[in-house]
Amino acid sequence: MKTHFELGEITERYNQAVLKANQSLNEIGETDPDDRTVNNTLVRFDQIISEFNDAVLPLVLMGYIYPDTGIAGEGMEAEQKKISFLFNVSTRRDLYDAFRSVKPATPEESRLSEVTLRKYEKNGLLLPDDQIAGVRMLRENLTKVESEYSANLNNDNTTLLFTADELKGVPEETLKTFSLTDNGTYLVTMKYPDYNPVMKYAVQEDTRRRMMTASKNIQAANNTRLLEEAIQIRQQIAEKLGYDSWAAYQIDGRMAGSPGNVTKFLDSLEIPLHSKALEEEAVLLRFKENEDPRATRLEPWDISYYTEKLKEQGYSVNDEEISEYFPLERVLSVMFSWYGALFGIRLEEVEEADVWSPDVTLYRIVNTSDGRLIAYLYCDLFPRDGKYRHMATFALNYPRERDNGSYVVPITTIVGNFPKPAEEKPSLLPFNEVETLFHEFGHTLHESLSTAPYGTLSGIDNVELDFTETPSQAMEEWIWDPEVIDQLSGHYTNQSGKLPADMRDNLIASRDIDIGTTYAGQLVYAKEDMEFNTRPGPVNVIGISDSLYKEILGIDPVQGGHEPASIPHFAGGYDAGYYSYLWSKIYAINLFSRFEETGIGNSTTGMNYRHWILEPGNMQDGRDLLRGFLGKEPGQEAFLQRLRNSTSDT
């Protein structure tokens, strides 16, 4: 894959990819009806779109990670153009007519036909052409607005200045990573290697308040306006396509089926999560009252700080101390070997790989049974200016069968912002960051192990959105097993030094002390996302967000905050889809329960999981895949039982 670009090169490569794709698509449309076959219409279409994505997805990635801002800007522009191009392709009547005119002969061809035709019909091909033209214009406007929202977040450089006294309690090792001004104050960014330690350890409440207020106001004016504009455009598109709301349009064809089913699901979780959050917050308030007898209520910026106090005082868990046992390189190595044994693969570092930054490492993924190369993985895990602020996995192509019987090797990139190695210490991961890394590796395996014959039905981006997060969230479950923790841990000064058993057991015991607050927060995002995308007329995103925060978490939100302006998923593909995280968590716990029954390292169960969950892509509905692996219908009980069993009191 090409990793270095000159100004203008990304734009030129994108234009070439569009030209090539259009020429080939036109050939499908111009094929004589009597000469049409599944192979020269549906299968050929899949090949064309897959080849287009092969060329364009790496260009789009550069918009999120490339060190040169000008070239990164071209990548963001390529993403905007790509979204519009693919939507326009999926509204071409000549292609739709060609696809409808052929009869699939195999179950695989039938699945390709079903999914392809459904996409075209969702996008308006049952409507007159003049109405489709109006939808295309609206989609182009929507893409521009959402791309601007994303670019604003990528380019944001919000920082605050603090004195050493104001950062009292923040670990010395963290302070060393902050930039110092000429007058000795610390420059602190909103990226999570800076943000999280301040929120967890800063003794002064005002310091935490300032950090959270700044974080909740990233791109406040610009992105609030853009998000509300995007929501109105979505409503107009949905109406033209014959849907009651944007949520109805988006959810059509997913596991949930309808906004009503999503709302019913979210409502079913509100009472148990709200009750658990209140229970946890009462414990945290007692900690605050012990420090400050004048305290009468808990604030949003108190939650991380007093949760950390609860871990330390109630469970003898110190995140900073524990992180010393989880250097990034070791965690990666053990994670690779653990899942390698479970799923029959091996990961090997590619020496002297061509990468876009010295911080990036490339791995090849090999099938252990036959030594066959099956995938590549780039890891770009440290922060730098202009880089995507969050953790994410990007697919750089869509694996599929070639005409000659070979398979296109999938490529993924995990992008993160872990603490950068210092001279005297490697990158040390707090345990929640270990969990995040496992989550993203779950996405990687879902892409890398795909065996779907068609690129448009393979990998992480082409399954139902409310199934996408299931394999990644299931992967998080393993790290809480004592055996896995023992393998993962190794003190950075002597990797034979494991996390002591008492610290390990206390860590596991503290796992769910904030389960209610954590998932209630997820519920807030999911509910506000649904409200944004189901309400008619103009939407006040801040009003909805603040109201739901108060209703579900039971405490007041940050005064003057604009949190929806800084949630990438609201304008980055998870619109009317944020519920997927809670939805998938329910299923993920079900999946892991099968390993608990047979052994968490049981390779027979692992290969069965690979067969049913990781390999099929969108060749079957997600619910059928879950039933196939579990042998039964998955339900909520395992999640609710975990919620009931958790305790934050000591």
Where are any strands of DSSP class E within 390-470? 392-395, 411-415
**Helices and strands in the chain: count of H runs, count of E runs:** 25, 8
Is residue 389 a contact partner of residue 191, using CB atoms and an 8 Å limit? yes
- Per the rule left: phi > 0, alpha: psi between -120 and 50, beta: everything else, 631 is left
**Rounded Cα–Cα distance for residues 310 and 313 (Å):** 5
Q: Whose CA is closest to 75, among 3, 158, 137?
A: 3
**Rounded Cα–Cα distance for residues 435 and 478 (Å):** 9
What is the per-residue burial (b if ≥16 Cβ within 10 Å, else e) of 532-569?
Answer: bbbbeeebebbebbbbbbeebbbbebbeebbbbbbbbb
Q: How, if at all, do strands 186-189 and 179-180 pair?
A: antiparallel
Instruction: Tell me how far CA of residue 390 lies from CA of 80, 335, 387, in angstroms.
Output: 20, 21, 9
Q: Which residues contact 222 (CB under 8 A, 6 or more apart)?
A: 148, 149, 152, 565
Please give the backbone phi and psi of residue 187, each rounded to the nearest 5 degrees, phi first: -100, 115
DSSP string, 165-231: TTTTTS-HHHHTTSEE-TTSPEEEESSHHHHHHHHHH---HHHHHHHHHHHTTTTHHHHHHHHHHHH
User: 486: which 2 tokens?
Assistant: 């023992």
Is residue 198 a contact partner of residue 167, using CB atoms and an 8 Å limit? yes
Question: What are the beta bridge partners of residue 347?
Answer: 365
Residue 493 DSSP one-character state = T
Q: Which residues contact 300 (CB under 8 A, 6 or more apart)?
A: 212, 555, 556, 557, 558
Catalytic residues: 440
Amino acid identity at 136: R
SS3 376: strand
Is residue 125 a contact partner of residue 96, using CB atoms and an 8 Å limit? yes
